[in-house]
Structure 1
């Protein structure tokens, strides 16, 4: 059905006159009349009774006017929401990131975003598989490497490293290793080196395993590794970003760490002006700045 003819029909039905509708639509009376006749022919019915005093809707015309009135209300509502969206953020935002970063760093902070934008709906997809942003499998991604697609906007958030951590209770019971070789006397909590994870983390695990570690607990994500470490199971290979929320963890063998792992935020170019994406991006950047300030202050306290 021709949307333009429906728009003209609605204006005529609302005004009750071809002339008045033409004035509203900036069309001549004859042009409006031709469009109404064409719509009636297409529908195979008469929409108006024509009288000297104006136009009166037929029964079929009343049915169509009810439908176009409903459409007009929905369009007005959508237009109002779009005008208000500069201040009022609503709708669904699909965010993807790794299980570790999403569960250990991002999810605990989202309450602050919801406090500011309570009508936002976030679909948080945690998996190691890289979702296709240009194909809209997700709206925003936080990835542990720079995206390769050229049609993405990307922002480097921070650099992380995998390090060795344990609880003080575990170290009091099992002793603190003074060298890589002494790790053979401890239980290692980590992912398997051949599981999906950042290459730098897998390489560090291989180096530690080369010390003839006898006892291990392997978990397929960093959230599980952290739970094992907090439960005093052993020494864990974990990303350094989680220490902001778990300051009681003790770093073991401070000279041992993985290479740098860059963390990027990315989203499609076509979503640049989308308000949901903008507020999420700004929120993440603010939280990263807060994390960096914590890192700086923690580093100063260690030096004093």
Structure 2
């Protein structure tokens, strides 16, 4: 059969693929930013076009039929091909203009990115930057962002990474708060202090207790997974928090807490899709970020 004579609607195949991956029409509709009835019609149209049932209802979700399982891998291959085509088309330009999406955590997006991007804009004013604020890993293969600032090295084979520095996380509090505590010089003197936890797994408490502290849940009256909000709580004198020392040391409203505390080292990686080599615009932004974070 001549492939040029075949007519096929990729939107329907994409609707099938995302519905299979998400497990329900409602979740797939949110992922594709479509109305659920529209998505449902696309799946039904593909079933009618192929002459097979792709899903059967199971409780509140959908379950693939045997035919659906058999065709899913073909749909995935089509999806990878479509993404590769999109990435190649996006990258085939040498013009230093257009949009670049950068994914970064809330703290880095708030405190470290702005001066870097200000210098970049002065040098290349036709490049527009979108900041994707997320403390989770953005999927660069799916174009959730073009470049990501991460604290872990990627393992995906289609991504490249450059380690720009080893950062140090330290404990901070306001001078007034430390004065109220009596400015203890040892970790044991902080048994009556309030700390701000940064996740639901009590990771900060466990970390500090390995360094001579003796803390329990009573020492953590606040928990916040947003570093920017946590930092504002520290600045308001609500307790002790931990943050990258490039941010903490630059803030005149706080100072380092706990003399002798061993800072926590963690890497900063810049990550991008391998197709960055085809786009001068992306390379310029990537290099500007590398220079800014490593300075």
Query: Normalized against structure 2, the TM-score is what?
Result: 0.61
1:260 equivalent to 2:268? Answer: no
- Number of matched pairs: 202
User: SS at the partner of 1:161?
Assistant: strand
Give the deviation of 1:139 after TM superposition. 0.8
Alpha-carbon RMSD: 2.7
1:230 equivalent to 2:235? Answer: yes
1:135 equivalent to 2:139? Answer: no
1:184 touches 1:214 (CA, 8 Å); kept in 2?
yes
Residues 1:158 and 1:82: Cα distance change in structure 2 (over 3 Å)? closer
Give CA-to-partner distance per residue, 1:93-143, whole Å, 9 cap, x none: 111122222222113432221122222221111112212212322111110
1:211 equivalent to 2:215? Answer: yes
Give the deviation of 1:191 after TM superposition. 1.3
Q: Which runs of 5+ in 1 are unaligned?
A: 1-80, 291-304
Quick one: which of 84, 92, 106 aligns to 1:99? 106
1:284 equivalent to 2:289? Answer: yes
1:164 touches 1:236 (CA, 8 Å); kept in 2?
yes
- Deviating above 3 A after TM superposition, structure 1's stretches of 4 or more consecutive aligned residues are 205-210, 212-215
In the alignment, the residues of structure 2 paired with residue 215 and residue 133 of structure 1 have an alpha-carbon distance, to the nearest angstrom, of: 35
Query: Normalized against structure 1, the TM-score is what?
Result: 0.59
In the alignment, the residues of structure 2 paired with residue 189 and residue 220 of structure 1 have an alpha-carbon distance, to the nearest angstrom, of: 10
Quick one: which of 178, 188, 193 aligns to 1:181? 188
Q: Which residue of 1 aligns with 2:246?
A: 241
Q: Which runs of 5+ in 2 are unaligned?
A: 1-91
Give the deviation of 1:194 after TM superposition. 2.0
Greater gyration radius: 1
In the alignment, the residues of structure 2 paired with residue 265 and residue 202 of structure 1 have an alpha-carbon distance, to the nearest angstrom, of: 29
Give CA-to-partner distance per residue, 1:125-179, whole Å, 9 cap, x none: 1112212212322111110110111222210011123221112222223321222
Q: Which residue of 2 aligns with 1:250?
A: 255
In the alignment, the residues of structure 1 paired with residue 157 and residue 93 of structure 2 have an alpha-carbon distance, to the nearest angstrom, of: 29
Give CA-to-partner distance per residue, 1:202-251, whole Å, 9 cap, x none: 75256588523435332222111211111122221222231353255321
1:122 equivalent to 2:126? Answer: no
